[in-house]
């Protein structure tokens, strides 16, 4: 075939999908891959030589907080523009971020506001609809409406003041999701246990950043993971557990999957390379690493790799949370530095670091192969969240979202390379082997050699149609389907 038939040919690379690795050329017309084949001849279209490089689907980051409003009136600091640049810098071409409902709010206006914000960016996007207040109108009218508008995932918190749901409310959301045909994603930590431990720590004068980890040990995550799954099983509603921090909560997922429950597990780079010891760095430095669940330690990280290889954890997101570090009155210093750990905002930035860390720690260190890397960072989130086959693979008909990857390139991570608006990265100084040298989003080169070139406003919303992957099993205790009756 002649390249003049194409707008773009990526020639001579090693194509890696979630299932195959092979040498091929990729022909693109407009925004779409039309041919994956051999010896596509040069002609009038643009040619990109990919000899010696891996050519993989652009990453999908299915858990990131961008321009998200907080109940206290603050906002995650990265705008959609900055976050898009960070995505492209790190080889990610699609995100699922959040539309956050607060107490008393109807979902329609909330979703409209986040659409307005996301459309200003460059990276393709969808949302998980956060439900913080499942009152009747939200459950009966709003959830079906947002799902019909293409938002096929809801998110709930089982902890955090002002946003957490109790078990009864969680059951309501699960039932509403099942009736509407959406997945539920869960932040699983035990609210009351954290509150009780926190009170004890503060009374004992244990207030430094490192006590954040003491306030939420693994057992409170394991308990909440078990409960989240048990209640989802009761309702027969598929769920994903967000940010699994170690092998113990992962074992809850594995046990449930073994009995057929539709539950999936996600982890993040912070649980693979950071640890509780980072929160014990001198002075206020430990604040940089405060996130929930708390990073554990090397043994837990290794246990997560076991869970990844076993297929229990099948998605690695960034949980990108933009809180700056050095600006007085903002981000991690919103309440100053002479404060107890409860006053320090949770979360770490990681959009651009995600793929390099997972590739380096996973593929370069021999823990997983490159196809598994693609499944964890692109193909599996595409399948789980209803974006496949448009996203997450390299095949005729799919969007031409590609990352060209130099598997041998050694880079020391530093904040300048992250291209977010945040003034630090928790991964500063981490050496990685393997780096994205070009990112292509819907046929456009949006990053080359760490330089991002994309037009603000070029983002596209990714509406998600009904999809079979999350179909409930039709199995209920005693054969009694309470969710069909309860509103
Ligand atoms: O500490 C974290 N993970 N902050 C972001 C919000 C969340 O819990 O996902
Ligand atoms: Zn969370
Ligand atoms: Zn999060």
Concatenated DSSP letters of 435-458:
EEEEEEETTEEEEETTEE---TT-
* CA–CA gap between residue 394 and residue 401 (Å, rounded): 8
Mutate-to-test residue for ligand 1 from 64, 65, 68, highest number of ligand atoms within 8 A of CB: 65
* CA–CA gap between residue 50 and residue 12 (Å, rounded): 5
Ligand in nearest proximity to the CA of 349: 1
Residues 6+ apart with CB under 8 A from 171: 231, 234, 235
* CA–CA gap between residue 9 and residue 6 (Å, rounded): 7
Å from CA of 243 to ligand 1 middle = 9
Contact between 341 and 212 (Cβ < 8 Å): yes
Cβ burial, residue 431 (10 Å; 0-12/13-18/19+): exposed
> How is residue 91 written in tokens?
């080889």
229 CB near ligand 1 (under 6 Å): no
Q: pLDDT, tens digit, for every residue of 122-156?
A: 999 999 999 999 999 999 999 999 999 999 999 99
Cβ burial, residue 485 (10 Å; 0-12/13-18/19+): exposed
* CA–CA gap between residue 446 and residue 8 (Å, rounded): 14
The CATH number of the domain holding residue 289 is: 3.20.20.140
From 107, 109, 108, 87, select the one nearest 97 (Cα to Cα): 87
Domain contains 429: no
Domain contains 472: no
Q: What pLDDT shows up at residue 367?
A: 98
292 CB near ligand 1 (under 6 Å): yes
Contact between 10 and 26 (Cβ < 8 Å): yes
Contact between 482 and 235 (Cβ < 8 Å): yes
Q: What are the CA-CA distances from residue 378 to residues 94, 106, 383, 458 (Å)? A: 9, 32, 9, 21
Distance spanning both ends of the chain, measured CA to CA? 58
Q: What pLDDT shows up at residue 44?
A: 81
Contact between 394 and 55 (Cβ < 8 Å): yes
Å from CA of 395 to ligand 2 middle = 33
Domain contains 407: no
Q: Of all atoms in ligand 1, which is nearest to the CA of residue 160?
A: 8
Domain contains 43: no
Domain contains 187: yes
Domain contains 94: yes
* CA–CA gap between residue 231 and residue 426 (Å, rounded): 35
Residue range of the domain that includes 159: 59-377
Beta strands in 182-308 (DSSP E): 183-187, 239-241, 263-267
Q: What pLDDT shows up at residue 4?
A: 60
pLDDT in tens, the chain (487 residues): 555 689 999 999 999 999 999 999 999 999 999 999 999 976 789 999 999 999 999 999 999 999 999 998 899 999 999 999 999 999 999 999 999 999 999 999 999 999 999 999 999 999 999 999 999 999 999 999 999 999 999 999 999 999 999 999 999 999 999 999 999 999 999 999 999 999 999 999 999 999 999 999 999 999 999 999 999 999 999 999 999 999 999 999 999 999 999 999 999 999 999 999 999 999 999 999 999 999 999 999 999 999 999 999 999 999 999 999 999 999 999 999 999 999 999 999 999 999 999 999 999 999 999 999 999 999 999 999 999 999 999 999 999 999 999 999 999 999 999 999 999 999 999 999 999 999 999 999 999 999 999 999 999 999 999 999 999 999 999 999 999 998 7
> How is residue 356 written in tokens?
């390099």
321 CB near ligand 1 (under 6 Å): yes
Å from CA of 186 to ligand 3 middle = 10
- 222, containing H or E segment: helix 218-235
Contact between 394 and 33 (Cβ < 8 Å): yes
SS3 289: helix
> How is residue 398 written in tokens?
């799919």
The single residue listed with the structure tokens 């992962």 is 250
* CA–CA gap between residue 164 and residue 156 (Å, rounded): 7
Q: What pLDDT shows up at residue 42?
A: 61
* CA–CA gap between residue 273 and residue 364 (Å, rounded): 14
159 CB near ligand 1 (under 6 Å): no
* CA–CA gap between residue 471 and residue 469 (Å, rounded): 6
* CA–CA gap between residue 279 and residue 281 (Å, rounded): 6
Q: Whose CA is nearest to atom 8 of ligand 1?
A: 292
> How is residue 199 written in tokens?
């009170």
The b/e string for 243-270 (b: 16+ C-beta within 10 A; e otherwise) is bbbbbbbbbbbbebbeeebbbbbbbbbb
> How is residue 339 written in tokens?
């404060």
* CA–CA gap between residue 111 and residue 115 (Å, rounded): 6
Number of domains composing the chain: 1
Å from CA of 347 to ligand 1 middle = 5
Domain contains 258: yes
* CA–CA gap between residue 97 and residue 115 (Å, rounded): 11
* CA–CA gap between residue 147 and residue 467 (Å, rounded): 12
* CA–CA gap between residue 149 and residue 209 (Å, rounded): 41
3-state helix, strand, coil in the chain (%, to 5): 35, 25, 40
Domain contains 360: yes
């Amino acid at each position: 075939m002649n390249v003049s038939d194409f707008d773009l040919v990526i020639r001579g690379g090693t194509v890696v999908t979630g299932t195959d690795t092979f040498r091929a050329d990729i022909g693109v017309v407009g925004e779409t891959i039309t041919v994956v084949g051999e010896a596509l001849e040069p002609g009038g279209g643009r040619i990109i030589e990919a000899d010696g490089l891996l050519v993989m689907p652009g990453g999908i980051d299915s858990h990131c907080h961008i321009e998200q409003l907080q109940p206290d009136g603050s906002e995650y600091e990265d705008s959609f523009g900055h976050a898009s640049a960070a995505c492209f810098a790190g080889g990610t071409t699609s995100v699922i971020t959040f539309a956050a409902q607060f107490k008393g709010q109807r979902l329609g206006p909330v979703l409209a506001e986040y659409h307005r914000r996301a459309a200003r960016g460059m990276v393709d996007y969808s949302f998980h609809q956060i439900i913080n207040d499942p009152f009747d109108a939200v459950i009966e009218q709003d959830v079906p409406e947002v799902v019909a508008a293409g938002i096929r995932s809801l998110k709930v918190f089982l902890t955090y003041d002002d946003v957490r749901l109790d078990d009864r409310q969680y059951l309501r959301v699960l039932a509403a999701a099942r009736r509407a045909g959406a997945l539920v994603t869960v932040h699983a930590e035990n609210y009351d246990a954290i509150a009780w431990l926190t009170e004890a720590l503060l009374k004992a004068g244990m207030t430094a950043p490192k006590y954040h980890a003491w306030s939420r040990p693994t057992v409170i995550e394991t308990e909440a993971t078990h409960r989240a799954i048990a209640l989802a099983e009761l309702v027969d509603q598929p769920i994903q557990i967000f940010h699994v921090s170690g092998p113990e909560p992962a074992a809850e997922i594995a046990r449930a999957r073994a009995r057929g429950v539709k539950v999936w597990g996600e982890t993040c780079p912070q649980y693979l390379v950071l640890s509780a010891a980072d929160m014990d760095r001198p002075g206020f430095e430990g604040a940089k690493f405060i996130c929930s669940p708390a990073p554990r330690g090397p043994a837990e990280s290794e246990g997560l790799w076991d869970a990844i290889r076993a297929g229990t954890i099948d998605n690695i997101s960034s949980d990108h949370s933009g809180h700056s570090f050095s600006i007085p009155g903002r981000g991690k210093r919103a309440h100053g530095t002479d404060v107890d750990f409860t006053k320090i905002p949770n979360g770490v930035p990681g959009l651009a670091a995600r793929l390099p860390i997972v590739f380096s720690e996973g593929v370069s260190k021999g823990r997983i192969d490159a196809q598994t890397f693609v499944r964890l960072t692109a193909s599996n989130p595409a399948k789980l969240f209803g974006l496949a086959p448009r996203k997450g693979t390299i095949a005729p008909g799919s969007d031409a979202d590609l990352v060209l990857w130099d598997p041998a390139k050694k880079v020391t991570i530093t904040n300048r390379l992250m291209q977010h608006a945040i003034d630090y990265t928790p991964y500063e100084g981490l050496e990685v082997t393997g780096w994205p040298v070009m990112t292509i989003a819907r046929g456009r080169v949006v990053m080359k050699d760490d330089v991002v070139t994309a037009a603000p406003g070029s983002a596209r919303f990714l509406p998600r149609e009904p999809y079979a992957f999350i179909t409930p099993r039709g199995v209920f205790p005693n054969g009694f389907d309470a969710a069909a009756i309860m509103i």
